[in-house]
Structure 1
């Protein structure tokens, strides 16, 4: 099967992204890192972050080796899986980890330079921080498309002895496997990084701010270096790996659906369409990054507008160029499918705006939480939880509308036949490509997210280095903006996870079909007695064959297990943060008690000990929840079969999606309510109101930075694991 000329735009765009990532990195490195004290602090944070990442990658490497051996046994021992799967799985994990590593390394070099640039002007600080964040965004999309391009070319060359149609099915379903590698790495990165950063943050806040009454990032606080390290390992390395797998997962799931939904020469075009949309999105993201700038003295809304300009210009241009791409491909119903992409883009924008409204202290919800601090921390927590629950309505309704609109656009609004087998396949393709649309400008949207931890670290560096208060004022403005953009980015990632997971449900059925062929089955018998060849069976035939309906107890059991997994996962990660934070609190109290002169600034705290506590706690605590996410689909499939797995995925998607939004928005609002008071409202820093919001922020930290953002990976990882072990489920399930 020859490779179309248009395909080469995909690897070209990936190389463009990697070039500009290098360009922005070099530009950042040419900036001054400031005074000797600023350089020393940055070096401590950098060393701690790299030490943590090395330790984490050692643990993850062992897990990956064991899983690769397991997949090799399935492929070469039992013959229920494609022989390429173990290798694709490993490359997905490798590229995901590499994206996180490069992004974090950039961030640790950028923080002091951002603080120094903020001494010149607010725009200079924003420029350094944002373009450093752009390194992460461009590395993620660049490596993602490069991995996809290489695997497409390799499999296209080596897969032989089948028709072109069957070849495309094998290529796309095999490529989905490296999505599992990316998801597994992302989960370890998010959970481990989230536990690390929040253990340090909670310890630093509770003992430093509340008990000792010293400012945030004060060098007298022994946990402050660990806190700054945590911002990088959790919010940069973890987030980069997270969105790498979201990006790749949406493209790969849609390509697999395109191979199943279309026939003839349309099949290859449908497979290439999501890759080409992503490629053009990269080029437009680069343009958007160059548009971000602001003026001195800008308020929060003006700073948000500065970032919004770059994102919105990129989004509008990709909406227009999608029509050009699909028209050039001459894909069937190219106009309708183009509108499916626009539906995904609009859904992402609406979710982002909704998140901004509920988490930014420029708006009423967060101001109300700050006001509730006048009656103590209990009312802060109650109002934050209530607001978080209310905030789920708009994203859920938006995703629901996006699902049905993307589906209808893809089938040409043919209501009379919308649930026939042909329409179902094309409609699901529309939903998948809507997810691609939502993530098409990830190069710049991730830059707005990764910029936040850099600004936060810049503020810490400014405080510890004793810079002019005006510098800290500017870095605080950039940090508050970063809290909002980070919350927006989390909402964006969660929304894309919902659309991608729905597309992966359909991909699971296609993998079941291939699994049956692997074990030598040639036909299935439907409930009406009709015998149908597996190669001719469609999604509805397999739904009938496996009795996937709400009346099947296996499906219902799966739904309950999937819903439980979301809560169990959150509980495990929240408790992990609590245990690690308790160790941190005890250590900070010990140092204040035993190292004389710390609070007077006459003695230097033992920062390394706090870094060590967070590192060990994160490594120990991340294993159980991460392994559970991998084991649950395997065991569910073994006991309850294909029907049970479908229930598991539906339950996990429904509960996990809503719970993730609630936790991310509550945590973001608590954080910004604290920032709002620190700006001089309701008594300002050190007041009783401020102490109450610090407690709220402490509760919100694991909500928004550990449990919440990990849930969207859980949703997709369970889907990916189910797809990869579909052959095992088909061959050996008990029911």
Structure 2
């Protein structure tokens, strides 16, 4: 059987995903939005989200054009074309996903009011499914068409570079936006003014709800779009070395069967009482279907089962990391409950306990990833054929991300449920409605944390596989860590995630300060707000978050793109390899630490609000709010952005490998 047919099957699966997304979008649109007040609040959120996305995309298009011109001159016009399409497809996925999410939030709230838990879960999850299917559909169509048209894996790297660039700006910009609004709303509204969360009197409340969409829907979708495309790219580049074209088409086939598994998994998400159980059923069902399908394809295309073992390893590692993340961030587990208890003695002990939880949480995921790498390599015949072993690692990354459609659907469900709760509160819907949306939101907090853990795990495997592709591209058999230039590269690479995190956290702090001052001003100058006779100026707060996010996302983005090129040109390919290795190790560790510490602080606060350790208004609650505020940029800005940093630098190195080969080591040669 000619394996090239699986390229067209991959495109067909992508088209099927887009059609399924369209059907889900239409089903959401048919659900009632509720009363006029609900439509008004929903309109504020939708308009704010779309205004931000429009301004962000205008800025990003300028970046795309400039970099495309540089690529056309320095590398090739074909790479530049792929780069443009990679960026545009990522932007399109974010736009569709954001539109669906801002349609689904108010309809979820109204479904909870009119029909109860089952219908509300269905609407919220359908909104997430639109995002998930658009991401995998556009991703597999884009990279497969690029390979079939240009027939060169080196050119296809441009598509992944475009996706990575957009992902970084979307994650960083969205993260700054959402946390500036969240911190401002919490510190002034809840702590200083003593009004409830999502109170319509809070001027930052609309910006906060908009932030859930731009950060946790568009940003998260761009993040996993980039991981998904990057994993397939690594399968293509290493597949050629290991099995020729058969290795390429098996990579595409695994991704295609994962799409079909995700679509089937959506139908397993049903439930009137336990939304967590329903979502888990969909996740595990799609994983099992993907494992069975990849096993059959392994025998059909490669005539061996060893790559199938690697795929299974990737899927299992992803599921395990999700479970570890849930343990360290769920309010039902001991780590979070310990943070809540430590809050009784103030903010300091809350902070110390949360930091400790985040640090401890790195151990099990890292050990699991390490075991997964070793098993995938040697199970794929790595002991006797290094190319096949490295392909095993790449195919493990594809396996982990094969059910990305389901993973994103479950993850994007969270902010939709959160928005639904906010709308229910602002529109003063009956208490039983808020009870339903609170339950959906609580599950959404866990799915969001698990989604971040999954994104980090997939980033580690994808970056490692792309790193192997880079060493092949620059003709390095190995990297000698005793060489001073390699050690220098490792130190610089290890430092970058810390510098990057500092820049993004400072950006949140600066933007949050502007938001706090604005909310305080409105409370002071417009006393009718607290009396309920004057509507706050929501647009001003939305504009503050938007402007700050767009302004502050530039430097971190440029840092990620420019640094590997400079190190490669100045110090050479081996030093650049050291940079990538150093950033991979510290980046993954920092990402896990920050995401889980932030998740633990967030759910410790919610655990206290549920009536433990004094409940709302207690000293423990005040400490919990402070911890949650510190954790916000950890889990929603810096931590998730590090996933993209380590992958983007590896993709940039791969794209510019010809330049590094020709001109690399200019400064090093002068010193010598």
Q: TM-score, normalised by structure 1?
A: 0.89
Q: 1:529-548 CA distances to partner (integer Å, 9 max, x unpaired)? A: xxxxxxxxxx52xx3xxxx2
Please give the alpha-carbon distance, in whole angstroms, between the structure 2 residues aligned to 1:631 and 1:14: 33
2:439 equivalent in structure 1:
477
1:211 equivalent in structure 2:
192
- Please tell me whether the aligned partners of residues 421 and 438 of structure 2 are also in contact (alpha carbons under 8 angstroms): yes
Pairing partner for 2:111 from 104, 117, 123: 117
Please give the alpha-carbon distance, in whole angstroms, between the structure 2 residues aligned to 1:344 and 1:135: 25
1:172 equivalent in structure 2:
153
Report the alpha carbon displacement of residue 62 of structure 1 after superposing the two structures with TM. 1.0
Report the alpha carbon displacement of residue 639 of structure 1 after superposing the two structures with TM. 1.1
Pairing partner for 1:402 from 372, 385, 388: 372
1:393 equivalent in structure 2:
363
- The 5 A counterparts of 1:218-233 are 218-233=199-214
Correspondence 1:277 to 2:272 = no
Please give the alpha-carbon distance, in whole angstroms, between the structure 1 residues aligned to 2:36 and 2:227: 40
SS at match of 1:47: helix
Report the alpha carbon displacement of residue 647 of structure 1 after superposing the two structures with TM. 0.5
SS at match of 1:599: helix
Q: 1:339-394 CA distances to partner (integer Å, 9 max, x unpaired)? A: 11101011001100000111111111111111111111221111111000000001
Q: 1:511-558 CA distances to partner (integer Å, 9 max, x unpaired)? A: 225xxxxxxxxxxxxxxxxxxxxxxxxx52xx3xxxx20111111111
Please give the alpha-carbon distance, in whole angstroms, between the structure 2 residues aligned to 1:304 and 1:395: 22
- The 5 A counterparts of 1:66-81 are 66-74=66-74, 81=75
2:592 equivalent in structure 1:
661
Please give the alpha-carbon distance, in whole angstroms, between the structure 2 residues aligned to 1:21 and 1:706: 28
Report the alpha carbon displacement of residue 686 of structure 1 after superposing the two structures with TM. 2.5
Report the alpha carbon displacement of residue 685 of structure 1 after superposing the two structures with TM. 2.2
1:246 equivalent in structure 2:
227
Please give the alpha-carbon distance, in whole angstroms, between the structure 2 residues aligned to 1:192 and 1:691: 29
SS at match of 1:95: helix
Q: 1:58-96 CA distances to partner (integer Å, 9 max, x unpaired)? A: 11111111111111111xxxxxx3441111111101101
Specify every segment of 5 or more residues in structure 1 that has no aligned partner in the other structure, as ranges.
75-80, 157-170, 514-538
Correspondence 1:463 to 2:431 = no
1:78 equivalent in structure 2:
none
- The 5 A counterparts of 1:613-632 are 613-632=544-563
Correspondence 1:487 to 2:449 = yes
Correspondence 1:383 to 2:353 = yes
SS at match of 2:480: coil
SS at match of 2:528: coil
Aligned CA-pair RMSD = 1.2
SS at match of 1:84: helix
- Please tell me whether the aligned partners of residues 106 and 135 of structure 1 are also in contact (alpha carbons under 8 angstroms): yes
SS at match of 1:374: helix
Q: 1:439-495 CA distances to partner (integer Å, 9 max, x unpaired)? A: 111111111100011011111100100101111111111111111111101110110
Pairing partner for 2:147 from 146, 152, 163: 152
Please give the alpha-carbon distance, in whole angstroms, between the structure 2 residues aligned to 1:723 and 1:152: 16
2:633 equivalent in structure 1:
702
Please give the alpha-carbon distance, in whole angstroms, between the structure 2 residues aligned to 1:127 and 1:595: 40
Pairing partner for 1:326 from 288, 298, 307: 298
Please give the alpha-carbon distance, in whole angstroms, between the structure 1 residues aligned to 2:154 and 2:392: 18
Pairing partner for 1:692 from 623, 631, 634: 623
Correspondence 1:256 to 2:233 = no
- Please tell me whether the aligned partners of residues 239 and 251 of structure 2 are also in contact (alpha carbons under 8 angstroms): no
Report the alpha carbon displacement of residue 177 of structure 1 after superposing the two structures with TM. 1.7
2:524 equivalent in structure 1:
593
Report the alpha carbon displacement of residue 9 of structure 1 after superposing the two structures with TM. 1.3
Please give the alpha-carbon distance, in whole angstroms, between the structure 2 residues aligned to 1:706 and 1:12: 35
Please give the alpha-carbon distance, in whole angstroms, between the structure 2 residues aligned to 1:659 and 1:6: 38
2:511 equivalent in structure 1:
580
Please give the alpha-carbon distance, in whole angstroms, between the structure 2 residues aligned to 1:288 and 1:140: 16
Pairing partner for 2:134 from 136, 139, 148: 139
Please give the alpha-carbon distance, in whole angstroms, between the structure 1 residues aligned to 2:662 and 2:548: 40
Correspondence 1:288 to 2:282 = no
- The 5 A counterparts of 1:491-510 are 491-510=453-472
Correspondence 1:609 to 2:540 = yes
Choose 1 or 2 for highest CA Rg.
Answer: 1
Pairing partner for 1:727 from 629, 636, 658: 658
Report the alpha carbon displacement of residue 703 of structure 1 after superposing the two structures with TM. 0.4
Correspondence 1:186 to 2:117 = no
Please give the alpha-carbon distance, in whole angstroms, between the structure 1 residues aligned to 2:612 and 2:27: 38
Report the alpha carbon displacement of residue 678 of structure 1 after superposing the two structures with TM. 1.9
Report the alpha carbon displacement of residue 560 of structure 1 after superposing the two structures with TM. 0.7
Correspondence 1:100 to 2:94 = yes
- Aligned pair count? 664
Please give the alpha-carbon distance, in whole angstroms, between the structure 2 residues aligned to 1:722 and 1:152: 19
Report the alpha carbon displacement of residue 687 of structure 1 after superposing the two structures with TM. 2.4
Please give the alpha-carbon distance, in whole angstroms, between the structure 2 residues aligned to 1:686 and 1:136: 38
- Please tell me whether the aligned partners of residues 179 and 249 of structure 1 are also in contact (alpha carbons under 8 angstroms): yes
Report the alpha carbon displacement of residue 3 of structure 1 after superposing the two structures with TM. 7.4
Please give the alpha-carbon distance, in whole angstroms, between the structure 2 residues aligned to 1:395 and 1:63: 35
Which deviates the most, 676-685 or 286-295? 676-685
Please give the alpha-carbon distance, in whole angstroms, between the structure 1 residues aligned to 2:81 and 2:4: 25
2:314 equivalent in structure 1:
344
Please give the alpha-carbon distance, in whole angstroms, between the structure 2 residues aligned to 1:254 and 1:84: 20
Please give the alpha-carbon distance, in whole angstroms, between the structure 2 residues aligned to 1:454 and 1:24: 15
Pairing partner for 1:447 from 397, 402, 409: 409
- Please tell me whether the aligned partners of residues 79 and 157 of structure 2 are also in contact (alpha carbons under 8 angstroms): no
Pairing partner for 1:87 from 81, 91, 106: 81
Pairing partner for 2:386 from 410, 416, 424: 424
Please give the alpha-carbon distance, in whole angstroms, between the structure 2 residues aligned to 1:139 and 1:679: 37
Please give the alpha-carbon distance, in whole angstroms, between the structure 1 residues aligned to 2:10 and 2:439: 38
Please give the alpha-carbon distance, in whole angstroms, between the structure 1 residues aligned to 2:410 and 2:619: 33
Q: 1:148-196 CA distances to partner (integer Å, 9 max, x unpaired)? A: 222122114xxxxxxxxxxxxxx12211221011000000000001000
Please give the alpha-carbon distance, in whole angstroms, between the structure 2 residues aligned to 1:473 and 1:673: 19
Report the alpha carbon displacement of residue 295 of structure 1 after superposing the two structures with TM. 2.5
Correspondence 1:366 to 2:336 = yes
- Please tell me whether the aligned partners of residues 133 and 448 of structure 1 are also in contact (alpha carbons under 8 angstroms): yes
Q: 1:603-637 CA distances to partner (integer Å, 9 max, x unpaired)? A: 11111110011111111100001110001001111
Please give the alpha-carbon distance, in whole angstroms, between the structure 1 residues aligned to 2:31 and 2:61: 35
- The 5 A counterparts of 1:508-547 are 508-513=470-475, 540=477, 543=478
- Please tell me whether the aligned partners of residues 601 and 628 of structure 2 are also in contact (alpha carbons under 8 angstroms): yes
Q: TM-score, normalised by structure 2?
A: 0.97
- Please tell me whether the aligned partners of residues 176 and 253 of structure 1 are also in contact (alpha carbons under 8 angstroms): no
Please give the alpha-carbon distance, in whole angstroms, between the structure 2 residues aligned to 1:471 and 1:432: 46
Report the alpha carbon displacement of residue 304 of structure 1 after superposing the two structures with TM. 2.1
Which deviates the most, 575-584 or 281-290? 281-290
SS at match of 2:482: coil
Q: 1:89-139 CA distances to partner (integer Å, 9 max, x unpaired)? A: 111011011111111111111110011111221121111101110101100
